[in-house]
Amino acid sequence: MTNGTALALDSTVAAMPAPVAHQGHGRWGRALTTFVPTRRLVIVVALLAPVWLASSSDVGARVALIITALIGAGVIADALTTPAHWQVEIQRTVPDRIGLGDTVETAYVVTLAAGRAIRFSLYDDLPRGVRANTAPGTSRHTVRVGTPCVVPLQLTGAERGVWPLGDIVARVDGWLGLVRRTLRWQLGDRVTVVPSMAGVSRYRLLAVHHRLRDLGMRAIRRRGDGTAFASLREYVVGDEPRRVDWKATARRGVLISREYTIEQGQTVMLAIDAGRMMTQLEGDVPRFEYALSSAMLLADVATQSKDQVGALVFDDEIRAWAPPTRGKQALERVHRAIMPTMASMAEPDYAAAFRVLGERQRKRSLIVLFTDVIDARSSQALIAHTSRGAARHLLVVVALRNDRLIATARPETGASSTELYEAAAAEELVTARETALARMRHAGVSVLDVSPRAMTAAVINRYLELKARASL
């Protein structure tokens, strides 16, 4: 290395802010670590590299020294023009709750208290239970004094639970774009990922207007002298004059009568199996989560129908219990009860579950049991207790179908020998499961054999049919 080159490098080092090793200057050392070079600075240094290579002569050394000093001064000036932490404020607008698998629109609101307009990129340290649909820092944004910058973000609930959100980091460019400063905020936000309630408003609206058939649901009504409006029809001789809808009559030009349905309040108990069969994945989500979502949607529709709703979650022991109540309070109780529960690898204890139901719920009720059976042997206890429970309660067993197992049992043409062996094993399991479900039906239990993805509509449909027929 020539003397000119060494002199240029020494001058560059001297021009850059030097780290301080003294303990008393630790704060300055930490401040310096918040600055990082940008691509622009790297390009500038790369383009001027021949100047240092030609610094063997006195003239070349002076030129290299001057350029090094200018770069160092530019870096220092650029660092000084980056905003301080107090000049930038960031707020993160997230909902308190996100449904598992649901995507919500959130945003960061960035405001600048003073100084020039700045360009920045944002990074967020999200927990594993919440997933961002876009990679952090992929875009640059500009904020000016008096004009907040809104940075949109889509978040998806990935795992149920209460998740503290991490720090927000902003990388802010200097005026010349040679250095970038890192600013960090600890906001203390948290979000709760709950069972998905996607479509609940639509279910609720259609239930109120008796239009659940629009979702493939057949609502069978008992028309009579009830108080709940059912539909409009043309007036026939013998209808009571007080049933005439005069507004509809004026619109249509013919007499129109109202029909009413008989309201019958009942008790709905949601029993959810949290045993090993419910840990199997349907896509990226355990089937237990599908059961929780369907149970919550059924609870919402039932409370809209003025029914009492309660819940029980169990595996080899009772994990949660919510006594039946009416209205919004019922939904809150059910939600608080099932939120902490998770599926486990334990075998479900149906005897304990039905014993608790028998002791705590003596009034005849509609019990909707979310579970699965894989063969006749494993379903013996379930068959025995459901048959006994059917003498006191009206029982509906929702058996979650394993779609992948059924698909494996039906190999495509030209399948390999390994695929044929797998298909034979899967076919044996599917046949055993169908035998178990047939035994349950023969014992008088109402069984819904349904895919987890199509479960909600089927469950609500069965509930509406039973309620309309006053089966309780």
> Which tens digit of pLDDT belongs to each residue from 270-281?
999 999 889 988
Are 452 and 351 members of one domain?
Answer: yes
Are 304 and 453 members of one domain?
Answer: yes
Enter the pTM of the model. 0.67
Judge whether residue 238 has pLDDT over 70. Answer: yes
Q: What is the DSSP letter of 117?
A: -
Judge whether residue 464 has pLDDT over 90. Answer: no
Model confidence band, residue 216 (pLDDT cutoffs 50, 70, 90): very low
Written as one letter, the residue type at 398 is V
Q: How far is CA 73 from CA 62, 78, 79, 377, in A?
A: 16, 8, 10, 81
CATH number of the domain residue 381 falls in: 3.40.50.410
Q: What is the pLDDT of residues 18-70, one digit of tens each?
A: 444 444 445 555 656 678 888 888 888 888 888 777 777 777 788 888 888 88
Are 289 and 145 members of one domain?
Answer: no
Are 28 and 135 members of one domain?
Answer: no
Looking at residue 270, what is its pLDDT? 95
Judge whether residue 202 has pLDDT over 80. Answer: no
Give residue 180's domain range.
85-194
Are 419 and 281 members of one domain?
Answer: yes
Are 181 and 226 members of one domain?
Answer: no
Closest CA to 244 of 232, 229, 252: 232
Are 397 and 286 members of one domain?
Answer: yes
Task: List CB contacts of 182: < 8 A, sequence separation 6 or more.
Answer: 34, 35, 36, 169, 170, 171, 172
Are 339 and 275 members of one domain?
Answer: yes
Out of 176, 194, 212, pick the residue that ends a domain. 194
Looking at residue 120, what is its pLDDT? 92
Task: List CB contacts of 335: < 8 A, sequence separation 6 or more.
Answer: 194, 296
Q: What is the pLDDT of residues 76-101, one digit of tens each?
A: 888 888 888 889 999 998 888 888 88
Q: What is the pLDDT of residues 123-166, one digit of tens each?
A: 888 898 898 887 777 788 999 998 999 999 889 988 888 899 88
Model confidence band, residue 221 (pLDDT cutoffs 50, 70, 90): very low
Are 242 and 271 members of one domain?
Answer: no
Looking at residue 313, what is its pLDDT? 96
Are 309 and 254 members of one domain?
Answer: no
Looking at residue 204, what is its pLDDT? 54
Mean pLDDT of the residues in the chain: 80
Q: 323-356: b or e for each residue (b if 16 or more CB lie within 10 Å)?
A: ebbeeeebbebbbebbbebbbbeeebbbeebbee
**Does residue 262 or residue 232 have the better pLDDT?**
232
Are 186 and 204 members of one domain?
Answer: no
Looking at residue 390, what is its pLDDT? 64
Looking at residue 260, what is its pLDDT? 66
63 in helix, strand or coil?
A: helix
Judge whether residue 212 has pLDDT over 50. Answer: no
**Does residue 198 or residue 401 have the better pLDDT?**
401
Are 332 and 461 members of one domain?
Answer: yes
The count of other CB atoms within 10 Å of the CB of residue 273 is 28
For the chain, the domain total comes to 4
Model confidence band, residue 389 (pLDDT cutoffs 50, 70, 90): low
Looking at residue 211, what is its pLDDT? 44
Looking at residue 378, what is its pLDDT? 65
Out of 261, 278, 304, pick the residue that ends a domain. 261
- pLDDT-above-70 percentage for the chain: 82
CATH number of the domain residue 167 falls in: 2.60.40.10
Looking at residue 79, what is its pLDDT? 86
Out of 194, 212, 228, pick the residue that ends a domain. 194
